[in-house]
Amino acid sequence: MTLRLFVLALCLPALAACDAVDAAGALASGQGETFTPRVVTSEDIPPDIHEDSWARLPRLTRESLDADGQRAYDVIVHPDSRYSGGLRGPIGMWMYSPPMAEHLFPASTYLRFGADGNRDQRLAELAILTAARALDSQYEWSAHEPLGLGAGLEAEIIELLRWDTPLGEAGELPGLNEPERTIIRVVRELIREPKLSREAFEAAQRIFGNQGLMDIAGLVGHYTTVNYTLKAFDVQRPPGSRLTLPPLP
């Protein structure tokens, strides 16, 4: 099996995804723990955060940039972009280095969605959520859990990731087959171990091929960069957002 696994998955209706998030938040982990998501309030926002960006630096406007900066801005913000409404979140902070933003944003789009938008979003969101949990990134997890559900990722798999349950303790779960197990193992090892084990490498190479394995590593690298951006600029989820990741023990 090769990159054909990375084909576009059908999305569940948005309402069903939200309902699944509510249900998942009340499920017990393998240790019998429960976690109830909480909603961000204005009191949670640190005093040095700008309300236009929810970060330590204000949101840049196109008019405030020079010609090179405006060119980089237009790579990100345009009618066909997922940022058609303007800069937000960690990508907004990238624009404080326009050359970096100009080069990284197209790569981020490829790694997340594929060259022609043909990336299997269920598997992509599985990798992103695994990385968010391993990095203990509340922002990334809370943003991508509904996206994972909407892409068809099973709630039982999300619970396994939420509680960082070892794969050896996962048992039989709907949708948790060899490709899913391999992605989880690869992402966890890339973040937590000195190098990817030979067993994980060979499994990923066999299932996804060399390009697929490189794309998985690239996707993990991208969301690690996003995580460092979040930490450097203390990017916040805005008031009213749901925080759905429990702290690691």
Confidence of residue 26 (pLDDT cuts 50, 70, 90): very low
pLDDT tens per residue, range 166-195: 999 999 999 999 999 999 999 999 999 999
- Domains, the chain, ranges and CATH? 3-43+119-243 (1.20.1290.10), 50-112 (no CATH)
pTM of the predicted protein model: 0.88
In this structure, what DSSP letter does residue 28 have?
A: B
Confidence of residue 20 (pLDDT cuts 50, 70, 90): very low
Cα 37 to Cα 34, 228, 230, 240, distances in angstroms: 10, 24, 20, 12
pLDDT above 70 for 76: yes
Give the percent of the chain with pLDDT over 90.
Answer: 85
pLDDT tens per residue, range 79-132: 999 999 999 999 999 999 999 999 999 999 999 999 999 999 999 999 999 999
The H-assigned helical ranges of the chain are 14-25, 67-76, 89-94, 98-113, 121-134, 138-150, 155-162, 178-192, 198-232
In the predicted model, what is the mean pLDDT of residues 15-27? Answer: 45
Nearest to 163 by CA among 36, 21, 20, 30: 30
